[in-house]
Amino acid sequence: MLHWSINQLELKLKYTWKISRNASDFKINSIITCNDSVNEGKGEAAPNIRYNETPELLLLSFNDFLNAGANTIKNADDLSIILKTINAPNALRFGIEQAYINYLCKTKNETIYQFLKIEKTFITPTCYTLPIMQPAEIITFFNENNLNRFAYLKIKISVDGALDEIKSLASIYNKPILIDANEAWKDPDALINFTDNLKGLNIAFIEQPMHSSMVDEYKYVKPRIALPLMADESFCAQVDFNEIKLQFDAVNMKLMKAGGFLNGLRLIHEAKRNGLKTMVGCMVETTLGMSGAFAFSSMCNYVDLDGFMIIENEPFGYLSEENGVVKENI
């Protein structure tokens, strides 16, 4: 019989994590454990309020999971049925599935790569993300954190001050810059005008500039701007690829949004079949959760696995970064 438990972990951040819709100095993630008398697996759930996920909701949903027969699960299909029945939040779905698959791998003496039948990732370059800040602060932040070691950087922006922020970063960094707006724009023509002002800068793409509900606006914008568009908030567990490829050129797959390894793997394969470039991304997570995303790195065009780097005292040490490259320590 399986035994399940959940514990919440408060993660203090090294600096205020500010994006267009909110700011925070700490995160509360959940660590899920699955074990029998011999083997144990762990997983992480990083809730995101953008998807109506809170630490409190995860606890309530985990209790539903226990009451639905979690201790009787015998295989991945059983697990999937229960998670679907209780309509678990995607972050919790991933945390539970990660714990169970890690447990299964222990029982079978195999790796996650063998379980998923994917190529093993040894090391991978990652980008690093700058939170929203005043343009005058960017150079100091860049130098203090030695950000030139990364092969590309992502910068969070809102509508106000965005151009000055990007130009400040570009003045000291000549490698590709990824722009992440987190749905800040409401006017598609204003967005087009903004991107026109980025000509001559080394911009790789702009990520989710408008709200995911603005489907027609994305279809209007896509052929009218020179920069590729990447979906983030528009790309979650269930995706209509016929619609997505009319709005975006690339997608950011995060396991916390996908709801698990198996669905995340499906999403990446489907994205490629539909001619979309792919990024594997993350929430603010420890290296426990992020070790799952790391496994997908070799499959994707871009890698954004910096979430563990902004945690003050990362507790697991499953991954580490040196000179802009992430490697496994397990």
Q: pLDDT tens digit string along 228-243?
A: 999 999 999 999 999 9
Give me the mean pLDDT over the 67-83 stretch. 94
Beta bridge partners of 130: 155
pLDDT above 90 (res 177): yes
Nearest to 13 by CA among 61, 39, 46: 46
pLDDT above 90 (res 15): yes
CA distances from 91 to 79, 94, 219 (A): 15, 5, 29
Average model confidence (pLDDT) for the chain?
97
Give me the mean pLDDT over the 47-73 stretch. 97
For tokens 């950000």, name the residue. Answer: 147
Q: Note the pTM of the prediction, 2 decimals.
A: 0.96
Q: What's the distance, Cα to Cα, between the start and end of the chain in Å?
A: 27
d(CA 324, CA 125): 6
Contact yes or no for 258/83 (Cβ under 8 A): no
d(CA 119, CA 131): 32
Contact yes or no for 147/128 (Cβ under 8 A): yes
Phi and psi angles of residue 304, each rounded to the nearest 5 degrees, phi first? -130, 80
pLDDT category of residue 1 using cuts at 50, 70 and 90 = confident
- Domains of the chain in start order, with CATH, are 3-110 (3.30.390.10), 123-328 (3.20.20.120)
Angle among Cα 103, 105, 109 to the nearest 5 degrees reads 125
Exposed, middle or buried: residue 56 (CB in 10 Å: 0-12, 13-18, 19+)?
exposed
Residues 6+ apart with CB under 8 A from 106: 39, 40, 41
